[in-house]
């Protein structure tokens, strides 16, 4: 799947992410898979000591490192959004993983650069707690040879047959879950992930959508570390939102939640950057009379003419959502 480091940890680049996803959902995988990401804020390096992690796991789990932000972005696009993992976080994918699993089944672990040893102990403890029922400590010396009689051979044959049936049932389960998701998305063209209109007032409706999407996208553990910043809507925000299908509006709300939590800066494809006074090279960042600074990011990647989102960051940290506009439209008030 990927080149192994000297400490036995596999390093996964963006091109090999499909192989990683296949391994995560492989019904024959019996060991937990620990996914470690790098932090752009800390030089694109992992925040846990991988050599120490590998040694302390005693072979009870496999460890894979996403090589950089590009690999994290590729994984983000390839798996359900509830399992997003990047920015130095670590996720433990247990065996028998399915896309229908709740996010909490495969725990996401926050790693503080100042307390990385605590996170390492947490990771090892979680792995040992789920593998201790069947893993034994390695021993030295020759193993005893157990007689394999006819009865034992029959039991082994039944076990192999049960494993094959279980793997087939798991594959069928994932296929059925995929069909259900497809049917939901095709139902009148409405995305089930976009909250329905419940308020006539656009401010209240937009706040409701943002909060509901944030609750869906971020697990309970993530919400403590990535809360929504105080925010308000600029004079052009609601009018700038396109009268588009629910899925397109959902894309915008996704980005809004990333901006309000501060995670947008960790996502390579967002390309968060200062919003300049004009398009010419070397132009300074736009600053409002009250000291607020202007920012922008991509709504879609690899599309030069795609729309962008702009916002103001006030001096007290409040985010004022500005507008959604085409690439060449730099107006912001």
CATH 3.30.2310.20 region(s) of the chain? 202-325
- pTM tops 0.75, yes or no: no
State which CATH number among 2.40.50.140, 3.90.320.10, 3.10.129.10, 3.30.2310.20 fits the domain covering 202-325: 3.30.2310.20
CB atoms within 10 A of CB 157: 10
Query: CA neighbours within 13 Å on the CB side: how many for 250?
Result: 17
Residue 163 confidence (pLDDT): 72
The rounded distance, in Å, linking the Cα atoms of 274 and 293 is: 8
CATH architecture of 3-131: 3-Layer(aba) Sandwich (3.40)
pLDDT at 139 over 50: no
- Residue of 173, 28, 20 lying closest to 101 (CA atoms): 173
Give the phi and the psi of residue 306 in degrees, each rounded to 5.
-70, 155
CATH 3.40.30.10 region(s) of the chain? 3-131
Residue 36 confidence (pLDDT): 94
Residue 131 confidence (pLDDT): 64
Q: Which range among 111-120, 198-207, 214-223 has the greatest average pLDDT? A: 198-207
pLDDT at 181 over 60: no
């Amino acid at each position: 799947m990927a080149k192994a480091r000297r400490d036995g940890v596999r390093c996964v680049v963006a091109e090999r992410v499909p192989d990683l996803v296949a391994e995560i959902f492989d019904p024959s995988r019996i060991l937990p898979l620990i996914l470690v990401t790098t932090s752009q804020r800390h030089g694109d390096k992992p925040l846990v000591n991988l050599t120490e992690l590998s040694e302390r796991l005693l072979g009870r789990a496999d460890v894979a490192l996403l090589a950089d932000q590009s690999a994290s972005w590729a994984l983000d696009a390839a798996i359900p959004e509830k399992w997003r993992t990047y920015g130095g976080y670590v996720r433990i994918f247990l065996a028998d993983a399915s896309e229908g699993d709740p996010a909490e089944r495969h725990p996401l672990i926050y790693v503080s650069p100042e307390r990385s040893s605590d996170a390492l102990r947490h990771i090892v403890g979680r792995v040992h707690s789920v593998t201790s029922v069947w893993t034994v400590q390695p021993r030295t010396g020759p193993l005893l040879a157990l007689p394999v009689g006819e009865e034992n051979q029959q039991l082994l044959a039944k076990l192999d047959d049960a494993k094959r049936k279980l793997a087939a049932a798991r594959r069928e389960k994932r296929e059925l879950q995929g069909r259900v998701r497809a049917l939901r998305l095709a139902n009148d063209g409405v995305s089930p992930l976009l909250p329905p209109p419940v308020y006539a007032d656009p401010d209240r409706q937009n706040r409701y959508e943002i909060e509901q999407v944030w609750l869906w996208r971020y697990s309970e553990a993530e919400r403590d570390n990535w809360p929504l910043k105080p925010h308000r809507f600029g004079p052009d925000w609601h009018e700038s939102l396109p009268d588009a299908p629910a899925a397109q509006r959902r894309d915008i709300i996704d980005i809004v939640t990333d901006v309000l939590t501060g995670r947008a800066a960790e996502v390579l494809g967002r390309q968060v950057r200062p919003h300049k006074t004009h398009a010419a090279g070397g132009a300074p960042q736009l600053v409002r009379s009250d000291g607020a600074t202007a920012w922008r990011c991509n709504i879609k990647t690899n599309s030069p003419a795609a729309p962008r989102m702009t916002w103001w960051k006030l001096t007290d940290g409040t985010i004022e959502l500005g507008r959604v506009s085409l690439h060449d439209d730099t107006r912001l008030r």
